Structure 1
Amino acid sequence: MSVSAPPRPVETPGRPATRRAFPWRPGRADREVLWLYLLTRVGLWATAESVRWLFPADGETRRPPSLLSPWQQWDWWHYLHIARDGYFPGRAGPWTAGWDNREAFLPGFPLTLRAVHAVVPHWAAAGALISFVAGGVAVLALARIARLQLPDLDAGRRTVLFFLCSPCAVFLTAGYTEALFLALALPAWLAALRRNWPAAAALACLACSVRVTGLFLVGALVLQFALTARGRRAWRAAPWLCLPALAPALFSWYLHARTGDWMAWKHAQERGWYREFHSPWEAWANTWDAAFHHVHPTGYALMWQAELLAMLVGVVLLILLVRRRRWPEALYTGLTLWALGTSYWYTSVPRSTLLWWPLWIGLASWSLRRPRVQSAYLCVAAPLATTVAVTFLSGRWAG
């Protein structure tokens, strides 16, 4: 399928096209998607409830930890500290011994958390609410993108089913950035498919404040615009695509004003997470050693095995997108893989699969041609998703 000749933008056969980025009135297909979303949220919260009884920090305790304690893991504490205390509390910073490198995290989620906390007093509850609402928006947008690209009436529901049962789906419920980013990035891409460039640019700007992956989304939007713009009137919307640069520019300016370093975000990543540049083959070799050479505890070794597998999935996805000439999606995926695959070793690649919407649409398309694919995927992915959820919720793995 060529991107230069995109499909006619209709939600379902027989319904008129619309230029609105995200029509909020849900139809029947949207309600089916939301029902799937609610059912999987119930399953994840039931898993969290089991974890807090089965895996308390103190194995001899007679009282389980609080209801929300399983969700307060790893990166959550960075977001909480930023939302509650700011980036540089009490003039502390990279010059302070024991600094936590919190400037490595973009401000979009912490600012949202602080705003919601004004209404929801419990910080963890506020984070859970953000992810719950954002996840609902994300799955609706994903389903609508799938229905634009695939002819089958079941395309949206099937795509969302693959997405919600993916091995790392727990991170859509945790107080992490994935759900909020997708709630902005997927409607932005939907707006681009409908050639509503002001909406696409505004949403992408907000996405850039949540995750650095937003910059890769902007690259895909620019390429999509270049491939689909026809005539002088269409090109008048081009200046809108400069808008997403505002978010990273403002954050860099803020960090420079506090630290004197325009690249403080990148340097914090390097200090805290070994994000300094290494060639792709070096990163692969280092991750392979960590996964299979028995130099780390088995739990961490399994984590790096998952990193390697997720990277292979991403490379296969990229090859398929290039073969099918889905150039904007290929650019987005390729930039993501380059960023993740050029550190000392791979970190957070499995989580990043949640952000590869072409993967879930591609799996749905494959399953529509070969019905056994859906059964095979669910039989394998569901146990893996439960394993990852229990591992994360019990504090044994960052993901």
Structure 2
Amino acid sequence: MSILSTGLRPTPPHPGSSEPRPQTHERRAAGAGFDRALAWLTPADRRVLRLYLLTRVSLWITAHGARWLFPRGAETRAAGPVLAPFQQWDANHYLHIARDGYFPADTGPWVEGWDNREAFFPGFPLLLRAVHTIVPNWTAAGLLISLIAGAVAVLALSRLARSYVPEDADGLRTTLFFLLSPCAVFLAAGYTEALFLALALPAWLAAQRHHWATAAALTALATTVRVSGLFLAAAVAVLFVLSARSGKGRRGAPWLALPALPPLAYSWYLHTRTGDWMAWKHAQERGWYRDFHTPWEAWTNTWNAAFDGVHATGYAAMFQAELVAMVVGLALVALLVRHRRLPEAVYVALSLWALGTSYWYTSIPRATLLWWPLWIGLAALSLRRPWFRTVYLSVAAPLGALVALAFLTGRWAG
């Protein structure tokens, strides 16, 4: 609190002491902006952010322990770099794209050993490159993006929860279930989940309020980050149709086409470099076996990978998690349809279709982070059945720790 706000006069400086430097205009402006930001946050928002920051601390403790207790070599005498645990798997692809571009030195899918980087949409790498101009360390830049985006996402999620479940008055319970979910470590790493949710959840809030232009613009930004943005666009379109039937927001129809523009622009760019309009999809097929298979074929192949001893135990455990996540997703879609939440059901069902028609399942547990109806529904269930909260936390906590350790130590985690 400033002295001026108290109505008290400042105490004159003690004789012999140096006169305090007057506050500059820039400092006053910055302070006023910070005060306005705090005023915008409700007490419920601050509780949500406090929980968010505490869970970030717990993940950093886990990362610190992982680099000391599980080094790369048995005879290692020094822990790895502080940020190294977070620079794993897809984070390296985003770094390479941000640093070198999609086709450095005219390399591409025609070169042997190509890393299929065009499978990743450009939104996160572009932002990473921009933040890197301020934060020199690439890993730190990615972590900063996820830290800020995650804060926006949990605030939006808590507000969504209040609209779905009035009993969760501050949205804290939904946020707790979300932040302690088994794959929550990916919200902290330099991955796309936090950034996507920071755009998708406010977009859905805007759509619920029939602010179609805002919803479409945010959804369009989400499609630059992940193809899941197109699933969100479909859900927004379904919500628009249902709202139009009741006579609300009919003028917003032209905005519904906006989210298709970024993927079209990206496909055009890839076509100019490769001659292939679907280069991003074909890169996924080459690198991650995401060529089309029937749902029952994908289930069978994943089941065999999980239980037939064809993979090392670590990989087999991840395929088992894929199967469980698919079952959870199907149950969620069924419940959403039963409760006439058709737009949300479309969003989750399209995600399951995209991930469940590959050679085998990949990244479905991580995709659960994007299914906000799941976390809101679990919170609602725990309010009706108080024992469920204890059961959930007892199961989610060890699973989250195991997935975090698998990722932070360089073992595959989906």
- TM-score range, shorter-chain basis? over 0.9
| Structure 1 residue aligned with 2:375 | 360
Cα distance in 2 for partners of 1:248, 1:230 equals 29
- Scaled by the length of structure 1, what TM-score is found? 0.93
Which structure 1 residue ranges, 5 or more long, are not aligned? 1-22
Matches within 5 A, 1:254-265: 254-265=269-280
- 1:243 to partner: Cα distance: 0.7
Matches within 5 A, 1:193-208: 193-208=208-223
Matches within 5 A, 1:75-90: 75-90=90-105
| Structure 2 residue aligned with 1:33 | 48
Deviations 1:121-144 (A, max 9, x none): 000000000000000000000000
1:178 pairs with 187, 193, 200, which one?
Answer: 193
Cα distance in 2 for partners of 1:290, 1:112 equals 36
- 1:230 to partner: Cα distance: 5.5
Do residues 345 (structure 1) and 360 (structure 2) align?
yes
Do residues 234 (structure 1) and 249 (structure 2) align?
yes
2:60 pairs with 45, 53, 57, which one?
Answer: 45
Equivalent residue of 2:52, what SS?
helix
8 Å CA contact 2:403, 2:413 repeated in 1: no
Cα distance in 1 for partners of 2:144, 2:92 equals 16
Matches within 5 A, 1:368-383: 368-383=383-398
Do residues 293 (structure 1) and 317 (structure 2) align?
no
Do residues 163 (structure 1) and 178 (structure 2) align?
yes
8 Å CA contact 1:155, 1:365 repeated in 2: no
Cα distance in 1 for partners of 2:153, 2:359 equals 32
- 1:163 to partner: Cα distance: 0.2
- 1:149 to partner: Cα distance: 1.2
Deviations 1:199-258 (A, max 9, x none): 100000000010111000000000001101267772111111111111101100100011
| Structure 2 residue aligned with 1:20 | none
Which structure 2 residue ranges, 5 or more long, are not aligned? 1-37
Equivalent residue of 2:79, what SS?
coil
Letter aligned with residue 65 of structure 1: G
1:315 pairs with 316, 330, 343, which one?
Answer: 330
8 Å CA contact 2:240, 2:249 repeated in 1: no
Letter aligned with residue 117 of structure 1: H
Cα distance in 2 for partners of 1:234, 1:60 equals 65
8 Å CA contact 2:244, 2:250 repeated in 1: yes
Letter aligned with residue 266 of structure 2: F
| Structure 2 residue aligned with 1:119 | 134
Cα distance in 2 for partners of 1:389, 1:173 equals 10
Deviations 1:289-331 (A, max 9, x none): 0000111111110010000000000011011001001000000
Structure 1 residue runs of 4 or more that deviate by more than 4 Å after TM superposition: 230-233
| Structure 2 residue aligned with 1:74 | 89
> Identity percentage over the alignment?
68
Q: Which has the higher contact order (CA 8 A, sep 6+)?
A: 1
8 Å CA contact 2:168, 2:174 repeated in 1: no
Cα distance in 1 for partners of 2:52, 2:263 equals 32
| Structure 2 residue aligned with 1:57 | 72
Question: Which of 1 and 2 has greater Rg?
Answer: 2
Deviations 1:172-211 (A, max 9, x none): 0000000000000000001101111111000000000101
8 Å CA contact 1:74, 1:398 repeated in 2: no
Letter aligned with residue 101 of structure 2: G
Matches within 5 A, 1:138-153: 138-153=153-168
- 1:398 to partner: Cα distance: 3.5
